[in-house]
């Protein structure tokens, strides 16, 4: 049995069953069987099974741990900040102290919202991780179970399917086996239970992701205030006007020198 959250290993456990199913469907299709979700192209059965290929739940598990750690770190910082509020209130009295305390308290409220959302995000990702694993695990179990329903007949069915699709062997006898035994199995067990599970897994995975992303997107944005310059009522000094250009002074100096020359 594959380790929990190892999607690739778990899917690999069901591959032999899927290969049997694929051979049965191809043989039936060669004899005229049609179904839009099974016979539209040669790899359709495998495509249904591979919809979760590449899903890395162990990476998601690490993300969950990091979100948990981030939430814990923020809550630790928040406890320190709330303790500083009490110290600030005792050390600084008067209107300025009251304004400073209220400002830090608002920062604490914003930090609390961030920490709460981090923990909620961790919980959502953990639920996503568990739901996705359940869906993949159940899909593989169904693929194996449906294949095992014909376990006693499997050698004869696989041989007949190979003869029908390749032409090697007693084709008339093989066609009889496929039409009378394999085709009813495909049209009932595969079309109903197997295909229904593949569809529900694909849809369930998409729904699980959508629920988590929508809830995260709906979280209100946290806002941390910036302190005003030196408190309420502060008016910055106006910049000094630029110095007058020295042109007039230069003109007077020039006139004086001209007068002296006239004398």
List the domain boundaries for the chain: 7-43+53-142+166-176+204-229
> Which pLDDT value is given to residue 261?
40
> Which pLDDT value is given to residue 253?
46
Cα 259 from chain centroid?
89
Mean pLDDT of 82-94: 87
Residue-wise pLDDT for 60-79, tens only, equals: 999 999 999 999 999 999 99
- Percentage of the chain beyond pLDDT 90 is 71
Residue 223 pLDDT class (50, 70, 90 cuts): confident
Q: Which residue has the tokens 């630790």?
A: 76
pTM: 0.79
- Percentage of the chain beyond pLDDT 70 is 86
Residue 16 pLDDT class (50, 70, 90 cuts): very high
Residue-wise pLDDT for 199-222, tens only, equals: 999 999 999 999 999 999 998 888
Residue 263 pLDDT class (50, 70, 90 cuts): very low
Residue 96 pLDDT class (50, 70, 90 cuts): confident
Residue 93 pLDDT class (50, 70, 90 cuts): confident
Mean pLDDT of 27-51: 97
pLDDT at 255 over 50: no
pLDDT at 252 over 60: no
> Which pLDDT value is given to residue 6?
97
């Amino acid at each position: 049995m594959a380790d929990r959250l190892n999607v690739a290993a778990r899917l690999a456990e069901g591959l032999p069953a899927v290969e049997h199913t694929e051979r049965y469907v191809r043989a039936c299709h060669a004899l005229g069987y049609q179904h839009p979700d099974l016979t539209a192209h040669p790899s359709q059965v495998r495509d249904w099974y591979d919809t979760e290929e590449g899903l890395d739940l162990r990476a998601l598990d690490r993300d969950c741990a990091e979100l948990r750690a981030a939430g814990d770190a923020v809550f630790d910082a928040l406890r320190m900040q709330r303790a500083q509020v009490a110290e600030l209130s005792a050390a600084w009295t008067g209107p300025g102290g009251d304004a400073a305390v209220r400002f830090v308290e608002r920062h604490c409220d914003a930090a609390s919202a961030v920490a709460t959302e981090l923990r909620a995000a961790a919980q959502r990702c953990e639920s996503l991780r568990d739901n996705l694993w359940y869906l993949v695990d159940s899909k593989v179990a169904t693929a194996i179970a449906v294949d095992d329903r014909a376990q006693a007949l499997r050698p004869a069915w696989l041989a007949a399917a190979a003869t029908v699709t390749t032409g090697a062997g007693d084709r008339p006898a093989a066609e009889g086996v496929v039409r009378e035994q394999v085709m009813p199995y495909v049209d009932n067990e595969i079309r109903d239970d197997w295909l229904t599970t593949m569809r529900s897994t694909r849809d369930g995975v998409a729904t699980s992701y959508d629920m988590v992303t929508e809830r995260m997107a709906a979280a209100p944005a946290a806002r941390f205030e910036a302190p005003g310059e030196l408190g309420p009522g502060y008016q910055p000094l106006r910049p000094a006007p630029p110095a007058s250009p020295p042109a007039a002074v230069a003109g007077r100096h020039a006139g004086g020198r001209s007068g002296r020359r006239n004398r």
